Amino acid sequence: MGRRIWLLVSRAAPLSRDGMGGLLLAVIFAGYLRETALMRIQLQNSEKLTLISELAASVAHEVRNPLTVVRGFVQLLRDGVDKERKEYIKLVLAELDRAEFIISDYLNLARPQDEMIETFDAAEMMREIKQVMFSYALMNRVQLKAHLEEGALYTRGDKLKCKQALMNLIKNGIEAMPGGGTIVLSAERIAQQVMLRITDTGQGMSPAQLKQMGQPFFTTKEKGTGLGLLVSIRIVEAMGGTIHFASELGKGTEVTVMLPLHMQSE
Ligand code: ADP
Ligand code: MG
């Protein structure tokens, strides 16, 4: 649409001095139109997504309750059975846990309800995340390393949600290295921003794959939901930050999270 208007105006105005002014106006106007059209599409997409995610979250919520009941009773059954059946029950519980995990992904998509906004040290948060994920990483033969800048790396938002966003990203890193590898976490101050980085030595992504990052339900994993990134991006954006991915097939992926720097007293 922008281009059509550009043609119309440029034909109507010969290239005199006034014409140049008109031309300039037309260029600005065409740019403006393109931007508003783009914004409208983005808005429509986000409205659709909100609707879908709310629906998914409410279904997930309804399914979670019976699952919890089933899990409780299966656990009770475990005591009175022989060894072979105990193995079956172990399997049932593991699968129930997996279902619970998937449901959490959907529930996290829903709009935040009880947010707790605070100012917190992002480096400290990364240290806590490293502690929590250390054994999970080790189980997957992944070594977790951290380079965290000391001092005031304060940012503002819901710390628990922010942790969840980063843990989703780290989990993806671990899953990208089925044969094991290394993940480096870093936190440093860049001008008025806090830069958090997760670098893995995993399978990486092709440029075509990279383009689809963050799209709902995009997954290359047999048991993936394709919701983890979406949740992470939403959380970071709610904090006024951005997520950027750089990746090379066969080499690894670098995820950069930029968050606004805050004063501790804020
Ligand atoms: P899921 O983990 O359930 O597949 P995500 O939204 O977390 O969903 O991730 C979507 C997809 O993005 C993954 O299936 C994978 O293909 C790709 N991806 C994300 N992080 C990485 C990474 N660190 N290395 C390689 N691929 C990744
Ligand atoms: Mg994931």
How buried is residue 102: exposed, middle or buried, by Cβ count under 10 Å (0-12/13-18/19+)?
middle
Q: Considering only CA atoms, which residue is closest to atom 16 of ligand 1? A: 220
Would you say residue 205 has pLDDT above 90?
yes
Q: Are residues 130 and 68 in the same domain?
A: no
Structural element, H or E, at residue 246: strand 242-248
Q: Residue 84 domain-assigned?
A: yes
Q: Which ligand is closest to the CA of 248, given by its number? A: 1
Q: For residues 35-74, b (16+ Cβ closer than 10 Å) or e, as one string?
A: eeeeeeeeeeeeeeeeeebeebbeebeeebeeeeeebeee
Would you say residue 7 has pLDDT above 50?
no
User: Which residues lie across from 156 on neighbouring strands?
Assistant: 119
- CATH assignment of the domain containing 46: 1.10.287
- Please state the rounded mean pLDDT for residues 149-158: 91
Q: Are residues 96 and 123 in the same domain?
A: no
Would you say residue 110 has pLDDT above 70?
no
- Asked if residue 227 has its Cβ within 6 Å of ligand 1, the reply is yes
- Please state the rounded mean pLDDT for residues 212-230: 88
Distance 231 CA to ligand 2 centre (A): 10
Q: Residue 266 domain-assigned?
A: no
pLDDT per position as a tens digit, 33-69: 777 777 777 666 666 667 777 777 788 888 888 999 9
At residue 11 the predicted structure's pLDDT band, cuts being 50, 70 and 90, is very low
Distance 160 CA to ligand 1 centre (A): 21
How far, in Å, CA of 174 to CA of 5, rounded? 50
- Asked if residue 198 has its Cβ within 6 Å of ligand 1, the reply is no
- pLDDT of amino acid 17: 61
Where is pLDDT greater, at 11 or 64? 64
Domain containing 181 equals 117-260
Q: Are residues 107 and 41 in the same domain?
A: yes
Q: Are residues 41 and 123 in the same domain?
A: no
DSSP structure string for 28-83: HHHHHHHHHHHHHHHHHHHHHHHHHHHHHHHHHHHHHHHHHHHHHHHHHHGGGS-H
The residue out of 62, 95, 112 marking a domain boundary is: 112
Q: Are 1 and 33 in contact (CB under 8 A)?
A: yes
Q: Residue 26 domain-assigned?
A: yes
Where is pLDDT greater, at 233 or 266? 233
- Please state the rounded mean pLDDT for residues 258-262: 97
How far, in Å, CA of 93 to CA of 200, rounded? 31
How far, in Å, CA of 166 to CA of 170, rounded? 6
Distance 224 CA to ligand 2 centre (A): 7
Would you say residue 131 has pLDDT above 80?
yes
- CATH assignment of the domain containing 246: 3.30.565.10
Distance 103 CA to ligand 2 centre (A): 13
Q: Are residues 121 and 245 in the same domain?
A: yes
Phi, psi of 204 (to 5 degrees): 70, -175
Domain count along the chain: 2
Q: Which ligand is closest to the CA of 219, given by its number? A: 1
Looking from the CA of residue 203, the nearest atom of ligand 1 is 25
Would you say residue 217 has pLDDT above 50?
yes
Percent of the chain with pLDDT over 70: 86
Q: Are residues 188 and 74 in the same domain?
A: no
Q: Are residues 22 and 99 in the same domain?
A: yes
Q: Considering only CA atoms, which residue is closest to atom 23 of ligand 1? A: 173
- Asked if residue 136 has its Cβ within 6 Å of ligand 1, the reply is no
Q: Considering only CA atoms, which residue is closest to atom 20 of ligand 1? A: 172
Report the chain's mean pLDDT, rounded to a whole number. Answer: 85
- Asked if residue 200 has its Cβ within 6 Å of ligand 1, the reply is yes
- pLDDT of amino acid 13: 44
pLDDT per position as a tens digit, 250-259: 999 999 999 9
DSSP annotation of 125 reads: H
Q: Are residues 101 and 152 in the same domain?
A: no
Q: Are residues 149 and 77 in the same domain?
A: no
Q: Are 212 and 233 in contact (CB under 8 A)?
A: no
Q: Residue 166 domain-assigned?
A: yes
- Asked if residue 181 has its Cβ within 6 Å of ligand 1, the reply is no
At residue 12 the predicted structure's pLDDT band, cuts being 50, 70 and 90, is very low
Q: Are residues 129 and 51 in the same domain?
A: no
Q: Residue 265 domain-assigned?
A: no
Handedness of CA 198, 199, 202, 205 (dihedral sign): positive
Q: Are residues 64 and 129 in the same domain?
A: no
Q: Are 164 and 125 in contact (CB under 8 A)?
A: no
